[in-house]
Structure 1
Amino acid sequence: MSAEIDVAATLAALRAEVRARRAALPAAEPTPTERELQRVLEELEYTRVVSAHWPLEGRNPLEQVVALINKVVRRYLRWYINPIVEQQNSFNDTAARAIRLLAAENAALRAELTALRNQIEQSSS
């Protein structure tokens, strides 16, 4: 007995199954650029805050005297240095926030682009 195969129906069923499996898959593997962006965002968080008060220590008596002089000079220049450091930290916070928002918007646009491509693929098949 020979049964006729409905090629169009079989092809439509296969396409539907592929779409269903694609939709069930987790988000796509991040691209190298996305991984690099994530690494840079983490590095940005580590280096965002500037400190004007690095520890000054000496290992031998001469270095200890130099460290003491630097501490005294630093204490007398605090009125001059601290406002600059505060301005830098404020700028770093704003720039880091802007970069994080841009990265989030980029991810949203990539997801939207993927959804649009899937819609185009579905409508063309």
Structure 2
Amino acid sequence: MNNTPNGPDVATILEVLRAEVRAAHANTQKSDDHSGIERELAHCAEEIEIARVVSAHWPLEGRNLYERGWAMINKVVRRYLRWYINPIVEQQNSFNDASARAIRQLIAANSELRAQVADLRSQLAQHKQAE
């Protein structure tokens, strides 16, 4: 094509288009990364919720007579140490509950901030296009 002084420069137009495609591709990758991060955060929150409650009394079982005897001794020891173990377990459970609640709130705040940043970026892009 001939470049005339009054006509459009094709090379410049192609370079601008390539830059816009690169920017759109970079934005798509960033949003994919964010959704991946949000999925990972949701998965971590589920794992925390599963392990949130601690039990002080796991079941004790024995397969043979010897193991049943030890299980019985351990059950008796647990009953006499309940006054010592239960307050510790309750403290751990309350800490786990508070931590899980805080993490859920942080995940929600993070998601809200991501939405606000995306909104601001789109407004900035619209403002730049208007200029």
How does the TM-score come out when normalised to structure 2? Answer: 0.72
> Cα RMSD between the aligned structures?
1.1
What is aligned with 2:62? Answer: 58
| AA at the equivalent of 1:53 | H
What is aligned with 1:36? Answer: 40
User: 1:76-115, aligned counterparts within 5 Å?
Assistant: 76-115=80-119
Q: In the TM superposition, what whole-angstrom CA distance separates every residue of 1:35-66 from its partner, at most 9, and x where no partner exists?
A: 11111000000000000010001011110000
Q: Give the Å deviation of 1:116.
A: 0.2
Instruction: Show structure 1 runs of 5+ residues with no match.
Output: 1-27
Q: In the TM superposition, what whole-angstrom CA distance separates every residue of 1:3-48 from its partner, at most 9, and x where no partner exists?
A: xxxxxxxxxxxxxxxxxxxxxxxxx665222111111000000000
Instruction: Show structure 2 runs of 5+ residues with no match.
Output: 1-30
How does the TM-score come out when normalised to structure 1? Answer: 0.75
SS of residue paired to 2:59: coil
Q: In the TM superposition, what whole-angstrom CA distance separates every residue of 1:53-92 from its partner, at most 9, and x where no partner exists?
A: 1000101111000000000000000000000000000000
Higher helix share: 2
What is aligned with 2:14? Answer: none
